[in-house]
Structure 1
Amino acid sequence: MALRECEAAHCSGADAEINEICKQEDWPIGHPVLTRDSQGVCVCQCSCFALHTPILISDGITKAVQDIKVGDYIQVAGLDLVWRQKKVGFSAGSKGSRTTLQPSIVFISYGENQHLVVTPDSLFLTSDKKLKRADKLNFEDFLISENGEKININGVGIGEYRGGFHHIATDVEEPSANLDGHLIMANGVVCGDYTLQIKYHGDDFKKDFENMLTVGTKEYKDKYGELERSLINNEFFTPSFEVPKVIPPLDARTFISDYEAERHLESGTFRSFTDHLSQTWIEYLFKQFKLHYPDINFSLDWDNDAVNAVAWKDNEGRHVQVFGGLVRSTTLELEGLSLVIAHEIGHHYGGEPTYDGELSCEGQADFYGARNVMREVWFGEFYIQVMEKAIQQLKNFFEVPFRNSFKEAAFIPEEGNPSLSACDHPPGICRIETYNAAVDLKPKPPCAG
């Protein structure tokens, strides 16, 4: 289920109706939306500024971003910061229900008690006259005012926001090198309009941000310390460090061994920390699995970079948790993640052999998850379709620590254990064999314990 980023002319221009439907239904940013033309799949692109963000429309006069319509005039400039008025050519957004939870939203505190709430890909002009994504800003950067004066950044954080967003653009024409007509003023600082935002989604500009630290990640926190805690209180924004987390016990049963997880973290490639789409996959899958397994408490620890998922049982019931590092792995998409969740459910209901009479061993969890859980959740032919993609994705996933050849992954010992026991994680090649046996309703392979 690979979804691509949409071109500006497709999603923002030709398919304005898609954005309107997103607005009407109050779907969050990144929500997958199917189209019926040759362009394929789009996502809701109602992004940029939180509703009620003041945009400069003329000298000293601002207007809430959602109240700016096509044909209205706003103040625009290029890199030379020579300001003039220009007509708005595109305006769209969400309706702003406080019940809509938007994940991975960036909160920026700056200047004298000023702040902005924006999506991660919103662009800001910094004092070096370069555009920088919101999720890459830090206190070493300076935003700039209408007159080019430096403005200190006091805090940058990422978290959950309840509310709507809106974006505007002067037109969808290719911006000039000077960016003339595509820089606007939002609450006292210079930003890019939506046309620039889409342009910077392209491969030509992604490299500009690849080596920059992303707010919310461990590397960002290690370097900038308590920067994200320097935020103004906002009743609709919850920084990620304040979002309640379910902490698994040390003996929780993992999808892969700690040894493999560490190798994945070293060798794997990952989606952005602010990737909305993979979060949407997990939220959807949790709802789907919860319908069939209502007694399991599902949770996502997005901030955890560990490439793993866990299952455990305690006095509060049965639990399955997926870590952000696994969700962001580029080898897995909705189907592969579905099979990972099924494996963790297999720990709860797979039967013998078990760890100390409780949760099922790894090979049994693989087999039961693929044969029983996935069949329960994905009905009829959907089961085969999802499993075929899931198996291929998991094969790619197990290959990551052994890039030269999948055959090298035929034996992956537990850390500190030279041989496999009945409950250890089977080697990757055995796990693929187990999944295929489950689909074909054949016996569990001997290698799976």
Structure 2
Amino acid sequence: MRHIAIVGSGPAGYYTAEAAQKLWGFDVRIDVFDSLPVPYGLIRTGVAPDHQSIKGVARRFEKTALTENVRFVGNVTVGQDVNIETLKQLYHAVVLATGAPRDRELDIPGRELGNIFGSAAFVGWYNGHPDFADLAPDLSCKNAVVIGMGNVALDVARILAKSRREFEGADIVDHALDALDASRLETITIVGRRGPHQIMMTPKELGELMDLERASPRVEPADLPPEGEDSMVEPGLRKSVKLLRDFAAIPENIRGEKPIAIDFDMFASPVAFHGEGKVTQVEIEETSVEAGRAVGTGRTYRVPADLVVTCIGYRTSPIPDVPFDERAGRFANDEGRILPGLYCVGWARRGPSGTIGTNRPDGYAIIDRIAEDFESSAISSVAKLGREGFDAHAAETGLDLVTFRDWQKIDEAEIAAARDGAPRRKFTAVEEMIAARDAAHD
């Protein structure tokens, strides 16, 4: 019997478990660990709450999770509740699928000012991640700046702009919904260092800005390249640039009918935050694009900013005794191999790139590599204790494990508590999740 531990229950983790099942059938036992008592990682706490269709992929993971030889082990922090060496002793292979849950910091003067947040924290706040539920951003302001030109920046801008009614059907948490409903925002500025032909925004997400009740997008025509040059970019980006052209063409009288402006400020690189205690302005340096790179011109200006959210990328959280690539912000690895018996997959392997679906071939590829290593070293023939050994460790150290069946009880409680029109009311504290589990067992 092969025993595999997967650390992280998001898409990379469950696709890896699925791949192991397909290769070895019932000749493998898989434990999927997560530090939270709830599974699915960024499906639950990263995907925008108004994008419920994307979250539907969790049903595929549930099918894997409910099979006899896969077990969810929630409420266990690897590196704290159990170390990597212990897992390596218990399992034939340990796969780190922890994602990239930390913000890449924008290291410019003034970053310590109040009401400046990274997107991991801000998105975690409105999605109810226990680590960020108490973030309490001040939204009683007029001007927000969102730094970044990818879909996360679009998500943040859209969430900030939406009315309460537009969140019907979303699983946004109550504390965020109430704060957004009371906001007084008039301008949301999306800042990017390069131009329209370098944005990472996809057409579907960009197009949603056209349908907002109380906000209208705005692009300066001067920021757009000659239309004939659009033919030189790939089709998906061409569609996104076409939408930017549509935004630029919205008449001022139509735009003025909505109280919030979403301004795209391109060829703009933040160089400093200004304010007394809290941010009030972002200093911007104009840029030009040379060979695909943003180059500063030396000309600067300031943009009003009472709230700033930086959406410039993510980093994996280090784990003690696991080699880490500080520069890349991920585990040091060679095609997913870290050390003998230790692997990584998904964002923890390649950095924060690709879509949810990108993790599927990544998960299958790492299982193929593990199979190659098993054959070359005959390690899979070595007896390992697997989950029985881990359960003995948990009993000895007093760990309170949460199973997938426990999660289903938490799930039922969240669904039962949902406000009208919402799919669920998320618990935003680990203690609440554990209490819901325990109440279901009483």
Q: Which gives a bigger RCO, structure 1 or 2 (Cα 8 Å, sep 6+)?
A: 2
Which protein has the bigger helix share?
2
- TM-score (ref. length: structure 2): 0.24
- TM-score (ref. length: structure 1): 0.24
